[in-house]
Structure 1
Amino acid sequence: MANTPLMPKATAVWLVDNTSLSFDQIAAFCNLHPLEVKAIADGEAAQGIKGLDPIQTGQLTREEIERAQKSPSATLKLSVPKTRVPEAKRKGPRYTPVSRRQDRPNAIMWLVRNHPELKDAQIMRLVGTTKPTIEAIRERTHWNAANLTPSDPVTLGLCSQLELDLEVEKAARLALSPVEQPEEVATLLPVEDTTSEEAMAAASTKPAPKQPAEQEYAAAAVFAKLASLKKDKSDEDEGEGE
């Protein structure tokens, strides 16, 4: 139930042990029978259940408990959660009630006209249709094409505005970041003609890359040269000092 706390028996155990609320108040809050709450207080029920603090779980406030303790006729009110748990993603095609299935072609026509950037898979997720139906409506070959009227799927109750906005935003991102390079841009890029005589001659004059052994030899020569220069500098400094 929506107005029942999480783990009602464990919550009742904690309320019995830590508050002066009446059995009726605890029973009404935890959706239990007053005799069951009395059995918990007498140790005849819920013996192996550890009490759950509803204050720490955000289901009650200390002020709400104190208010109910002062008035035996008052009822505890479940706190409104501060966070919203996102709905679990559906697996498989969207289920559409039978009474609204006749509205799907109108919704598809609206999506095709107003959001041509949407992929068929996105339209299928939004209104729970099939790809052949989308193609038939797009190509005006649907059996009832003459009687179709574009209608917003959100207004028809086939999807939520948030779902529609997310799909449109996703389609826009894909359109702004193409995977392949346009042919027009590719034709403007300079292409090196490796078959021409000039290119072959230029390639022949380029020094060949050094092998690892040659690179090590060159590095050793550089270090030796630096050491020699450093020694000469040191000798000059000693001569000036004398």
Structure 2
Amino acid sequence: MFSRAIAFIAAIGIVLTVNKPVISQNHSEHHSVPSPSETSAERESSRLTESHVNEGLTKLHQKNYSGAIESFGKAVEIQPSHYLAFTYRADIHRLLKNYQAAIDDYTKAIEFNPAHSYLRNSRGVSYAALGDYQNAIEDYTQAISIYPEEGAGYRHRGAAYYQLGENEKAMADLNSAISRNQKDAEAYTIRGEIYTNLKNPDLAIADYQQAAKLFLTQSNREGYTKAINLAKSLQQQSIVPDSK
């Protein structure tokens, strides 16, 4: 079921740029083997929980977000430790810009699955959306410690440091993000903005152009337009003579 879930989430634009999203696993297999000591009542409880989760995924695929939230809510009422149901519901809340609700659900998911970088990055993005960059940085740092090979945590943390005006830390993190994933268009865009602030237009233009190229190959028209316009703006400024 997870293979379907990742397609559902990607289709509605929730996925962060992370390499190991929790929803890439197979949902039906994750809970399908009953314990030998499990009672009939417990087996029925597990069956109902999975039924609600699968129903939620179907509604998510149909973009019936309120219905999906309701189904995942029923799942966690029956099985409060079902971190995947909390994760799915949190992802929907984040999509709908209900960031505090997303934080609450990611927090529950982390409680039952603390060693997953996707959850930390996702909660960090939700904190950042509310302007709480310090808590966001804490989550991104945890994500990096869990999965240091991944670039997403570095890019997110670099963006948060940039928002706080800590350009040196931001640059170090963005360099780390790009070294781990040279196709991370967002990282190039943010680094370009820092170079712009540091009055280094040549490097900024190079980063914006690289970001635009990557966004184009990823069919991200919005990202491409932003990056190419930033590059053009700097190029135009560089050819305008000083008016003294």
Decide which structure has greater helix share.
2
The normalised TM-score by structure 1 is 0.19
TM-score relative to the length of structure 2: 0.19
**Structure with more relative contact order (C-alpha pairs < 8 Å, separation 6 or more):** 1
